[in-house]
Amino acid sequence: MQPVSIYCQSIEVSLRTGPDIADITTALEQLIGESRIETGQLCATMVGSTGSITTIEYEPGVVEDLKQAITSLAPPGREYEHEKAWHDGNGHSHVQAALLGPSIALAVRNGSLKTGTWQQVVAVNHDNHPRKRVIEVTVTGLAG
Amino acid sequence: MQPVSIYCQSIEVSLRTGPDIADITTALEQLIGESRIETGQLCATMVGSTGSITTIEYEPGVVEDLKQAITSLAPPGREYEHEKAWHDGNGHSHVQAALLGPSIALAVRNGSLKTGTWQQVVAVNHDNHPRKRVIEVTVTGLAG
Amino acid sequence: MQPVSIYCQSIEVSLRTGPDIADITTALEQLIGESRIETGQLCATMVGSTGSITTIEYEPGVVEDLKQAITSLAPPGREYEHEKAWHDGNGHSHVQAALLGPSIALAVRNGSLKTGTWQQVVAVNHDNHPRKRVIEVTVTGLAG
């Protein structure tokens, strides 16, 4: 039986004031190439409590629609308990990120992500200022 | 030390116009049986940007309550930017699916999913027409 | 090539009536120590359909803000179909938990969780009474 191997790496992406959404699919595909893993899974985790990861069809309309929905979940204008102690104005960012969740698990098949044709993996910055976000990636599986 | 093995497979489920919710627990348990893995984890990923995966108690009342909550998150009647370019009427589907997320990671113990007695794994179709949805499944762990 | 190993364990945490939120980061770090795995991933799954897992900055303000946001997603006062058959008063608990999701995938680097400095892993009880919640944890990776 062929042994299972594991490949760990991180990617960085610069994001504007939240909610901002970046397509990280190409960066993940590159890591899979480096890993030489053909069949298995990829887990990606946002480092930091004001970011999240999900998938969408990365076209400008959906991106805008998702930004609005995220803002509605926890609008910046409300009163947040977090502000009373910290005064950093990002109470909404923490709530939004916790609701979306920091991680994703994807299938790797034939050395590539097995996602839909119009399904891209995205990193979301919810913070109230631009952030360079780090995503930790772990690929587990069998080499070709 | 016993080597870790990995088993990859996909399942298909026919769903009605979204939000529609199907119990895929039995199909996942069958794949675990095929994998012969006794201890480890199972990751399942929805292929396509208008579907999602989560767990619920799969009884008709909760299923209906969850459908209503999903619809409230992004109602079909609103104006979506996605529509202005694509006119396919499913802007809400994309937003709903991105908020719920396409993937899940579950524990495999004693050759079975370690979930609650009333906790079923469900696939959700958010699209505005019936869809045959594909879920990619990766089981990683130790054989018995 | 060093073989990949896997370590499975569960943790328990006592939670009050939902939404209640507990920091499980220290318990997860202890399991990673027991596993002797230095590099890989950790998947954690809430057992039961009225609990969820996510990450937040675990300070009292954010915890309170997240509780309020969770309650807004599915308030206890509404009429739920689940109640009509079961009369157990926790229709909102099921909906909240399904929207947040039961699982998380985190990176293990240098024998520790690779999360942000102010990012803690939390277990959420959504049920309408105190619960001892069980979380299944699977650590996969390479020993040091």
A37-78: pLDDT as tens digits: 999 999 999 999 999 999 999 999 999 999 999 999 999 989
Q: What angle do CA C41, B136, A11 make, to 5 degrees?
A: 40
Chain A: nearest CA to C42, how far in angstroms?
Answer: 10
Verify whether the Cβ–Cβ distance C83 to B61 is below 8 Å: yes
Q: Is A134 helix (H, G, I), strand (E, B) or coil?
A: strand
- The closest of A118, A22, A92 to A63, measured between CA atoms, is A22
Q: What does the pLDDT read at residue C126? A: 98
| A&B contacts, CB < 8 Å | 122
Chain B, 99 to 128: residues with Cβ < 8 Å from chain A are 99, 101-105
What six digits make up the tokens of C57?
């900055």
| Nearest residue in chain B measured CA to CA from A72 | B73
Verify whether the Cβ–Cβ distance A59 to B48 is below 8 Å: no
Mean pLDDT by 10 residues, chain C (144 residues): 93 98 98 98 98 98 98 95 89 98 98 98 98 98 93
Q: How far apart are CA B120 and CA B123, in angstroms?
A: 10
C138 touches B: beta carbon within 8 Å: yes
C8 touches A: beta carbon within 8 Å: no
Burial letters for C67-102: b for 16+ Cβ neighbours within 10 Å, e otherwise? bebbbebbebeeebbbbeebeeebbbbbbbbbbbbb
Q: What does the pLDDT read at residue B87? A: 85
Chain A: nearest CA to B100, how far in angstroms?
Answer: 7
Q: What is the pTM of this model?
A: 0.98
